[in-house]
Amino acid sequence: MPNEHRSDLFPGALEMMILQTLRRGPLHGYALAQAIKQASDELVHVEEGSLYPALQRMLKAGWLSAEWGLSARKREVRVYKLTAAGRKQLERKVSAFERLLSGITKVMRASES
């Protein structure tokens, strides 16, 4: 199905992936979207319509900071960087996510057997 990889993410998933991706270093919006796509073997496609509002929300929450810089093609872009608060948030998110995932996995295994 062509729309398979565009399926809706669960709430907070996009934020978590953005935070995780930015942990490796600052990125601008387009590069961020590309990085997520590649890291997920193109299984996750970030919709721009969600990405930018999410970035703004995260700026407001103080998890990210933004500065204008240059892209690899020397184009003026806004570069996002993880803040200390963002790092903490990521840790919280990941542990919550792992608990959720292990829970789901158990349920899935139980019903299989």
Partner 1 sequence: MSAWRWLVGRRPAEEELRREVDAHIAERIDDLVEDGMSEADARTQARREFGNRALTLERSREAWIAPWLSSLAQDLRYAVRTFTRQPGFAVSVIGILALGIGPVATLFTFFNAILLRPWPVREPSSILIVKPVPTATDRYGTLSNLEYRYLRDHSRAFAQLGKSMGAGGAISYRDTKLDAVQWNYVSANYLDLLRVRMQAGRNFLPEEEDYASPRPVAIISDRLWREYFGGSPSIVGDALFVEGRPFTVVGVTEPRFFDVDQLRRDVWMPLPSQALRPIVKQDAILKMLADPHQTMGQVAGRLAPGRSSAEAVAELDVLGRQFRRSVGMDAPTYRLSSTRPASLQRDKLTRQLPVMLLMIGALLLVMLLASANVGNLLLARGLSRQREIAIRLSIGAGRWRIVRQLLTEALLLSIIAGTAGLAIGAMGLRIFVVGARPNPLLANPDLYMPDIGVSAFALAMALLTCIAAAVLPALRSTRIRLAGRAGDAAAGRAGAGRLRTMLLAAQLAVSMVLLLGAGLLTRALGHAMTADPGFAIHDVQAISVRLPDGASSARIAAFYQNLRQSLETGEYPMAALSEFSVLSGSGRFATLRRADAPLESGAGLLVRDVSARYFSVLGIPLLAGRTFAPFIDGGVHEVVVNESAARLFWPEGSPLGRRLYTGHDDTLRSYTVTGVVKDVPVQSLSEIRPVVYQPMAGGGLVLVRDRSRVAVDRIASLVRGIEPAATVTARPLADDIREATDGAAAANQFAWSIGAVALLLSTVGAFGVFSFSVEERRREIGVRMALGARPPQILWTVIGSARWALGLGIGGGLLLALLATPVLKRFLFGLSPFDPIAYAGVTGLLATAALAATWVPARRAAHIDPAVTLRAD
Verify binding: residue 59, partner 1, rule CB under 8 A. Answer: yes
Q: Tokens 């139980």 appear where? A: 110
Choosing from 23, 24, 57, 92, the residue that interacts with partner 1 (CB under 8 A) is 57
State in angstroms the smallest separation of the CB of 84 from partner 1: 19
Residue 85: exposed, middle, or buried by beta-carbon count in 10 A (0-12, 13-18, 19+)? middle
DSSP 1-31: -TTGGGPPPPTTHHHHHHHHHHHT--EEHHH
Q: Should residue 77 be labelled a site residue for partner 1 when binding is judged by CB under 8 A? A: yes
Kindly state whether residue 60 participates in binding partner 1, applying the rule CB under 8 A. Answer: yes
Q: Where does this chain bind partner 1 (CB under 8 A)?
A: 28-31, 33-34, 47-49, 52-53, 55-57, 59-60, 71, 73, 75-78
